[in-house]
Every structure is written in C-alpha cells, then in structure tokens.
C-alpha cells in the first residue's frame, strides 16, 4: 500500500480525477462524499476505500476521521475538494442556500483539516491540497455567495500555508477557472464565445495537483492567465467594480468543484 491520501468530494468531477491521478502515482486513496453509490464505484476502480461523509457536518467529519485513523493512523495527504455551486447573487439567492454554500465550500475544508490534523502530523512530511477557485481571488456579481465562500477558503489556505510547515505539513492551493463537470456544466452556463476555449477538463486540474505535489509548488491558477485578472481586481478594485457594473458581470461564471 502506498502513502494514504484522503480526498473529499471524491465521487465525481475534479475529486474523482484527482483520486485517479493520485492512485496512478502510488497513493492509496480514501474518498469522502455524501453519496454511497458513486463513491463505491470510484473507490473500486482505483483500489481505494471510501466513507460516506457530509463535510458540512462537523461532528460527522470528526467521527469519520476518528474511524479512519483506527485503520490509518498516519496519512500523507488531505485534498479538500468538496464543493457546491452557487449560481446566483447575494440579493437573489435564498438565505438557506447562502448558508449551505458557505458551510460546504469553506467550513467543510476547516472541519476536515482540524479532524485529520493528528493523522497528517503522524504522517509528516505530509501535505494538504485545497481546491479553491479563481473565484477565491476574483469576485463576479452573478455568483457573489459562491465567490465569498471561495474567498474565505483561499484566506484559510494561505493562512495554513504559513502555519503548518512548522508541523511538517505543506499546503498547496489550486485556483481553477472554468472546469467542465456534471455539477458545474460550464459549457451550458457560460455565454457562448471565445471564452469557451478557456474551459478545462477535470483531468487537467488533477495533473496540476500531482505536479504541485512533486515540485512543491504552493499556489497555482489554471488557466494561468486568471492570475493577472486576480491581481487587477486586488490592485484596482474601484476600476474593476465599474467595469463589472457596466456589464452587470454577465457572462462570467467562474466556478469549479
């Protein structure tokens, strides 16, 4: 058995592709997600394990981590990938959905990191990969609550990157743009045009994760040219807001999962 990796949201999309890529690289993967059937299928395909777990539920995450530590007291990698879309603005989205997006995309990563930290320390040198989003660095009006959840997750990831190395744990942050998955059907939600060529497949994100682990690369954007967009909003927030207000922010649905 290779080193042990825990991958949240591992039943489909980017999470499943990351698990496949890690398995090919010699990792023994434990997949977490809410649905049993797909989890079982992917875990069987890669020769891994799975546990049904809702990352929104802190107590459930803690129970799952405790159960897994009985079999795997030391893990080498935690991939915080679980996420849900939020295709609406702050003024339009139902309050319950706003809370759900924040609990899944942000707090789910926090609860998993805290619950699996003892196993990561036991497995040091180890690593955490946080699958954030370009939306963690760029805020577009049509997906404001989603962007807020990813901004929080990005701050969480960057804070950990400064805090965890002293414990022998590296932190890697992935900021993906438009990724075509079942839960995030970018080709049908993104306005048709040249930007469709910027849509990437989950396999590309999975390959990037493996490269980041191999080369100890701490933070990356995919596609790479989203980085200057993020810098532009950080440096010129007023100008960026005026440009988005002029177009209503329409056509930009930068979500991953």
Looking at the annotation, which residues are catalytic?
146
Nearest to 146 by CA among 54, 83, 211, 228: 83
Give CA–CA dist 131/61, Å, rounded.
18
How many other CB atoms sit within 10 Å of the CB of residue 123?
22
Name the packing angle between helices 108-122 and 144-163 (round to 10°): 20
Give CA–CA dist 184/256, Å, rounded.
6
Q: Using only C-alpha atoms, what is the Rg of the chain?
A: 18
Nearest to 222 by CA among 188, 163, 180: 180
Q: What are phi and psi of 94, to 5 degrees?
A: -65, 145
From residue 47, how far is each of 28, 31, 32, 243 by CA, in Å? 8, 11, 14, 49
In DSSP notation, 125-140 reads: SEEEEEE--GGGT---
State the burial class of residue 62 (Cβ atoms within 10 Å of its Cβ: 0-12, 13-18, 19+): middle
Dihedral sign from CA coordinates of 118, 119, 124, 125:
negative
């Amino acid at each position: 058995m290779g080193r042990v990796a825990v991958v949240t949201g591992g039943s489909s999309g980017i999470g499943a592709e990351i698990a496949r890529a890690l398995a090919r690289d010699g990792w023994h993967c434990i997949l977490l997600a809410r649905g049993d059937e797909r989890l079982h299928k992917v875990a069987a395909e890669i020769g891994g394990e799975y546990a049904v777990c809702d990352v929104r539920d802190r107590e459930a995450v803690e129970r799952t981590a405790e159960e897994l530590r009985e079999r795997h007291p030391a893990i080498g990698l935690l991939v915080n990938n679980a996420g849900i879309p939020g295709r609406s603005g702050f003024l339009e989205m139902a309050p319950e959905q706003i809370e759900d997006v924040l609990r899944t995309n942000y707090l789910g990563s926090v609860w998993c990191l805290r619950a699996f930290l003892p196993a990561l320390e036991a497995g040091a040198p180890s690593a955490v990969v946080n699958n954030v989003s370009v939306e963690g660095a760029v805020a577009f009006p049509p997906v404001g609550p989603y962007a807020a959840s990813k901004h929080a997750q990005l701050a969480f990831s960057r804070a950990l990157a400064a805090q965890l190395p002293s414990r022998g744990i590296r932190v890697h942050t992935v900021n993906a743009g438009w990724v075509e998955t079942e839960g995030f059907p970018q080709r049908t939600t993104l306005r048709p045009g040249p930007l469709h060529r910027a849509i990437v497949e989950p396999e590309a994100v999975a390959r990037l994760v493996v490269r980041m682990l191999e080369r100890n690369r701490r933070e990356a954007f995919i596609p790479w040219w989203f980085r200057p967009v993020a810098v532009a909003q950080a440096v010129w927030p007023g100008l960026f807001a005026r440009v988005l207000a002029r177009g209503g922010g329409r056509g930009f649905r930068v979500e991953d999962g």
